[in-house]
Structure 1
C-alpha cells in the first residue's frame, strides 16, 4: 500500500461509515411515519410538512458547502455537519411538540446535507474517484437496508423516539473521527494565469462561486434530474411500507422486510451495475438510460402484479436499477462545468436534489390520502419517465472527458 493510500485509508473508511448512518436515517423514516402519525394524531399530508423543512435545510447546506470548504476546509465543515445532525437527533428523541419537530428537521437536513455534499467533494478529488463515489453511495444503501430492520425491531419494544436517540449517539464517533483523521486544511493547487486570479477572487466570495455555478445550464438540468431521482427514491422508501400494508394487505413485518429488500436492491445496484457496464463497453450515459428503463419496468411490475412475491421482486428491481443513477451523476459532474466550479456544482447538485425528496414524497402521500395507496407504483413510473427526458437533456450538454481538466482521472492508480 502506497504512502498516499495509507494516509487516506482512515478518512475514506469514516466517509463510508458516515454514509451508512445517513442511509439508516433515510431507511427508518418510512417505518417511523405511521408511528409518528399515531403519536401526534395527524394525517399523511400534515406529517409530510416535515419533508419540506428537511429539504430546506439540506438545500441550504448544499448551496453553501462549497464556500464553507473554501473558507474553513473539509475537516471543520464535516465536524459542523455531524454536530448539527447529532444535536437535531437528540432534540427529536426528546419527542418535541409537532411544530418543534417540523422546525428541527431544518437542522437535520442541514447536517445531513453538509455531510453528503462535503464527502462527495472530498472523494471526487481522490485517485479512483469514480469507484470511491460508487462505493460511498453503495454504503448509503447498506444503511438504508439496515434502517427498516432496525426501526421495525425497535418499534416492537420501544417508542419511535428511541430510534432517533440511537442515530444521534451513532453520530458522536464521527465527529471525533473526522476531527482526528483529516488535516485542518486541504491544500489545493491553484492554476496559473488569469483563471488562477479568477479562482482566487471567487474563493474569497462564496456568493461568486454559487452565482457562477447557478448560471450553468448543464448544472441546473443535472440538479433537476437528481431532484426527480431523489423524489422517486424517497417516495418509494417512505410510502412503500404504507402501500404494502394498506394497499396490498401485507403484515407489518413482511412489509418492513420488503422495504428492506428495496434498499438491498439499491445497494447491489451500486456495487454491481457499473462493473458490468464497463465489461459490456457501456458509457455512463448509456448505463444510466438502461437503468432508467429498468426503473420504469419495476414500477409497472409493482402496479400490475398482485401478491407478496411480486411486491418483493418489483421493489428489488426498483432499487437495483435506481442504485447507480445518483453516484454516476456525481462522478460526471466535472463534465458539466468548469474545473474551478466543480466543488460548488457538486454541493448545488446535492442540495437542490433534496427538493425533490420533499415535494414528490409529499405529493405521493397526498395522492394516496385522496385516491388510495395503490397510486404509488404509477406515480413512480411517471417520475421514471420524467427522468428519462431530463437525462437526455443533460447528456446533450455533457462535455467529453478530455475537454475538462478535472475529469481526467488517474484511475490506474486505483481506489483507496
Structure 2
C-alpha cells in the first residue's frame, strides 16, 4: 500500500516556505559537481599531479560524505532539521572557500573532505525532506535544479578558463551562492522542523531496516551516482585527449550532457502523474544503455558527441525516482535514505577513481565499455529488486 505524505498536516502550519530554499540548495550543489570535470586539467597542471590523481580528492570527498550521510536522520532528530541543515551548509561554505584558496595539493584534498562531511548531511537531509513531504514529481523537480547547477557550472568554468582567469574564481562564486542559501535556511529554520506525522514516524529506526530490498537499493545507488559522476568527470578528458576536440567545444559538450540530465529531470517532474514509476525506470535505463553504446561506438565525432546529452537524459530520473519510492518500499524511510545517499557517495568517489586508473593504464577510450558494465550491473539490481519479497509486500 502506498504511503502518501500527510499533506493536510503540512498545510496546517501555513505555506511551505522551505521548498524554494530547497530548490536553491539543489541548484547550489550542482554547481561544483559540473565544474570539477572542466576544472580538473587546469587543477592538475597547477598542482603537477597525474591524470588519475583526480581519484584522491574524489575518494576523500566521498569518503567523508559516506561517513556523515547515515547520521543525517540522527542529527535531524536531535537538533531539528533547520539547525542540522544550517550547520552543515556553514561547513560547506567553509569547504568551498578552502578549495578556492588552496595553496597546495594537500590543502585542496583536505578542503574536499570538508565538502564531503557537509554534503553527506545536506544531501541526505534534503532528499529525506522531499521524499517524506512531497511526491516523485517534486523530487524530480528538486533534482532538476541540481541538473541546472551542473549545466551552469561547466559553462561558467569554461568561460573563465578561456578568459585566462584559471579555475579558482568560479569556486569563489559558488561560495557566494552558498551564503545566499545559508541565509534562506536560517530564515526558514522553524519550518524545516515542522514535519508531518508520517515523517516523524518514518524517522524512527526499525529492526526491519536491513533487508534484501535495501541492499539491492544500495548497490543501485552506487551504480547510478557512479555513472553520473564518471561521465561528468571523464568525458571532457576523453573529448580533448582522445577525440581531439578543442577545450571550449569539449566544455560545451559536457554542459550538454548536464543539460540533457537537467531536461530529463524536468520532464520527469512534469510527467510524473501520467506514468507509473516502473515504466519510467525502464525507459530511463533503456535510454541510458543506448546513449552509452553510442558514445562507445563513436561512428562519427558528431554522433559520439550527441550521445552525451542522451546519456544525461537517460540518467536523469533514476536517482530521484529511487529516493521517492523509499517511503513506499522500506521501513524507517529517513534512515534508509541516509544509507542510500551514503551509497551514492561511495559510487561517486569509487567508480570515477577506479575508472581513472583504468583510463591511465588502458587508454581513454576504455571509458565506454566500462560505463556499459556498470550500467548492466544497475539493470541487474533493478531486475532483482522488482522481484524482491520485501518490495512486493509493500506495494
Instruction: Please report the TM-score for the alignment, with normalisation by the length of structure 2.
Output: 0.91
Give distance in 2, aligned partners of 1:24 and 1:275: 23
Question: Where does residue 22 of structure 1 map in the other structure?
Answer: 29
Structure 1 position 32 matched with structure 2 position 27: no
Three-state SS of the structure 2 residue aligned to 1:183 is helix
Give distance in 2, aligned partners of 1:43 and 1:254: 23
Residue correspondences, number? 385
Structure 1 position 47 matched with structure 2 position 38: no
Question: Where does residue 357 of structure 1 map in the other structure?
Answer: 348
Question: Where does residue 378 of structure 1 map in the other structure?
Answer: 369
Give distance in 1, aligned partners of 2:32 and 2:150: 7
Give distance in 2, aligned partners of 1:5 and 1:123: 18
State the shift of 1:235 in Å.
Answer: 0.4
State the shift of 1:274 in Å.
Answer: 6.0
1:194-273 paired onto structure 2 within 5 Å: 209=205, 212=207, 215-273=210-268
Question: Where does residue 155 of structure 1 map in the other structure?
Answer: 161
**Aligned pair in 2 of structure 1 residues 271, 398: CA closer, same or farther (>3 Å)?**
farther
Structure 1 position 346 matched with structure 2 position 352: no
1:324 equivalent among 305, 317, 321 = 317
State the shift of 1:149 in Å.
Answer: 0.2
Three-state SS of the structure 2 residue aligned to 1:396 is coil
- 1:335–1:399 contact (8 Å) kept in structure 2: no
**Aligned pair in 2 of structure 1 residues 71, 398: CA closer, same or farther (>3 Å)?**
farther
> What are the superposed Cα offsets for residues 366-391 of structure 1, whole Å, 9 maximum, x if unpaired?
11111111111111111111110011
> What are the superposed Cα offsets for residues 217-256 of structure 1, whole Å, 9 maximum, x if unpaired?
2112111101111111100000000011111100011100
Question: Structure 1 residue runs of 4+, over 6 Å off?
Answer: none
**Aligned pair in 2 of structure 1 residues 55, 400: CA closer, same or farther (>3 Å)?**
closer
1:118 equivalent among 106, 125, 133 = 125
State the shift of 1:131 in Å.
Answer: 1.3
Give distance in 2, aligned partners of 1:7 and 1:27: 36
- 2:221–2:319 contact (8 Å) kept in structure 1: yes
Bigger Cα displacement from structure 2, 181-190 vs 25-34: 181-190
State the shift of 1:96 in Å.
Answer: 3.2
Question: Where does residue 175 of structure 1 map in the other structure?
Answer: 182
**Aligned pair in 2 of structure 1 residues 241, 398: CA closer, same or farther (>3 Å)?**
farther
> What are the superposed Cα offsets for residues 143-173 of structure 1, whole Å, 9 maximum, x if unpaired?
1011100111112331212221111121011
Give distance in 1, aligned partners of 2:20 and 2:262: 17
Give distance in 1, aligned partners of 2:35 and 2:197: 43
> What are the superposed Cα offsets for residues 272-311 of structure 1, whole Å, 9 maximum, x if unpaired?
24655754x5x31232122112111111111112444213
The unaligned stretches of length 5 or more in structure 1 are 204-208, 405-416
Give distance in 2, aligned partners of 1:65 and 1:246: 40
Give distance in 2, aligned partners of 1:398 and 1:304: 38
- 2:219–2:381 contact (8 Å) kept in structure 1: yes
Three-state SS of the structure 2 residue aligned to 1:137 is helix
Give distance in 2, aligned partners of 1:379 and 1:104: 29
Instruction: Please report the TM-score for the alignment, with normalisation by the length of structure 1.
Output: 0.86
Give distance in 2, aligned partners of 1:7 and 1:308: 54
Considering only aligned residues, what root-mean-square deviation do their CA atoms show, in Å? 2.5
The unaligned stretches of length 5 or more in structure 2 are 1-7
Structure 1 position 58 matched with structure 2 position 58: no
- 1:335–1:398 contact (8 Å) kept in structure 2: no
Structure 1 position 303 matched with structure 2 position 309: no
**Aligned pair in 2 of structure 1 residues 17, 148: CA closer, same or farther (>3 Å)?**
same
Three-state SS of the structure 1 residue aligned to 2:386 is helix
2:142 equivalent among 128, 136, 140 = 136
Give distance in 1, aligned partners of 2:310 and 2:358: 24
Three-state SS of the structure 2 residue aligned to 1:79 is helix
Question: Where does residue 4 of structure 2 map in the other structure?
Answer: none
Three-state SS of the structure 2 residue aligned to 1:125 is helix
- 1:76–1:184 contact (8 Å) kept in structure 2: no
Structure 1 position 366 matched with structure 2 position 373: no
Give distance in 2, aligned partners of 1:190 and 1:5: 12
Bigger Cα displacement from structure 2, 176-185 vs 260-269: 176-185
